[in-house]
Structure 1
Amino acid sequence: MKLEAVVLENAFVRLEPFRPEMETEVRATLDCDPASWDVMVAAAYGPHSAGWWSAAMMAMAGGTRITWAVRRKSDGALVGTTSLYEIRPEHRRCEIGSTFYRPEARGGAINPACKRLLLGHAFDARAVRVEIITDALNPGSQAAIRKLGARDEGVLRKHKITWTGRVRDTAQFAILDEDWPGVRAQLDARLAQFGQRD
């Protein structure tokens, strides 16, 4: 498995791998909705943005993470970020996460469009497993992950400590290579419905 930091694009979004010259635009995009950051492991708004950006760039340089800026195709606006991380080529697995969308980009085609691209990128690179995890206290996120077709794998107790110091239980989900054809078909059908309405 070899994952590349390349542009990924479909009818709804263009995912652009982080580059140093994007820092100002990305940080401005993420500087909103502080309450949403409270459930994240790391914060990227306001005073937290410089450290978050540096950590993302270091992880990209180390090959353990690829972070993309999410650009909405309809108007060219940058509306969030998402990543493939915990990249483990020796086990042909990775995670999708560190995802944040501006409030106006939530609830429509953006998230399923991003997940379709990221999952396709991982499985095209011969991944056998893609994990998606979220805070056990975030039922909305868990519902969205289930809607993608990922399977519940339980709760990891005291799995992470968030930037606020809260010890977090993590709900874990995964999509395996044999699951991917069905998940892909479901995502494609879902995105086609958005296209018919637009």
Structure 2
Amino acid sequence: MQLSSRVLENAFVRLEPFEDSHKAALRPVLDHDPAAWGGMVSAAYGEHFDSWWNAAVTARDGGSRIPYVVRRLPDGDIVGTTSLYEIKPEHRRCEIGSTFYRPDVRGTKVNPAAKLLLLQHAFDAGAVRVEIITDANNAASQAAIRKLGATFEGVLRQHKRTWTGRMRDTVQFAILADEEWPAVKAGLVARLAA
């Protein structure tokens, strides 16, 4: 598996790997809905932004993460962020996560369009498994992941420590390349065409 850091684009969104020029534009986009950050390992709103950005760039430079800004098309607004991370070429797997969208684009075609691009990129690069995880307390995120067609694999108890110090249970989902990706892809394409 060889994941490259490059722009991914379809008719709905353009995912641009982090560059220094994105930093100032992304900061106000993430400065919404502080409660939504509660289940995450790190927060990126307000005073937390710089340390979050620096950690993402450090992981990018180390090869374990490709962080993206999510630009909505056709208006070109940056509306959020997402990442391919926990990149493990030796196991041919990665995760999709560290995703946050402005509240006004949640429930639109932005998320399925972005997930389609990320999944296509990972599987084209040779991934056999892509994982998506979320806080067990985040019912909306779990519903969105299930709607993608990802397979529920279980709950990892006290799996991660959130930035607030709470030990969270993590709900784990995955999509396998041969067995599941074709149906997931077809479902996402159909959702975007509707």
TM-score, length of structure 2 as denominator length:
0.98
TM-align CA RMSD = 0.7
CA deviations on 1:135-192 (whole Å, 9 max, x unpaired) are 0111111111011010000000000000000100000000001111111111101100
Q: How does 1:151-190 map to 2 (within 5 A)?
A: 151-178=151-178, 179-190=180-191
CA deviations on 1:98-148 (whole Å, 9 max, x unpaired) are 000000010010000000000000000010000000001111111110110
2:50 counterpart of 1:58: no
Q: How does 1:67-106 map to 2 (within 5 A)?
A: 67-106=67-106
How far, CA to CA, are the matches of 1:169 and 1:39 in structure 2?
9
- Which residue is 1:36 aligned to? 36
How far, CA to CA, are the matches of 2:132 and 2:23 in structure 1?
26
Unaligned runs of 5+ in 2: none
How far, CA to CA, are the matches of 2:154 and 2:109 in structure 1?
27
Q: How does 1:104-115 map to 2 (within 5 A)?
A: 104-115=104-115
Residue 117 of structure 1 aligns to which amino acid in structure 2? Answer: L
- Which residue is 1:196 aligned to? none
SS of the residue 1:44 aligns to:
coil
1:21 to partner: Cα distance: 1.9
Higher mean C-alpha deviation, range 76-85 or range 32-41: 32-41
How far, CA to CA, are the matches of 2:33 and 2:76 in structure 1?
21
1:75 to partner: Cα distance: 1.3
CA deviations on 1:16-75 (whole Å, 9 max, x unpaired) are 000112111111211111111122221001000000000000000000000000000031
TM-score, length of structure 1 as denominator length:
0.96
Unaligned runs of 5+ in 1: 194-198
Aligned length: 193
How far, CA to CA, are the matches of 1:142 and 1:32 in structure 2?
20
Structure 1 segments, 4+ long, off by >6 Å, are none
How far, CA to CA, are the matches of 2:140 and 2:14 in structure 1?
24
How far, CA to CA, are the matches of 1:35 and 1:177 in structure 2?
34
Residue 185 of structure 1 aligns to which amino acid in structure 2? Answer: A
How far, CA to CA, are the matches of 1:180 and 1:82 in structure 2?
20
How far, CA to CA, are the matches of 1:138 and 1:41 in structure 2?
13
How far, CA to CA, are the matches of 2:38 and 2:157 in structure 1?
19
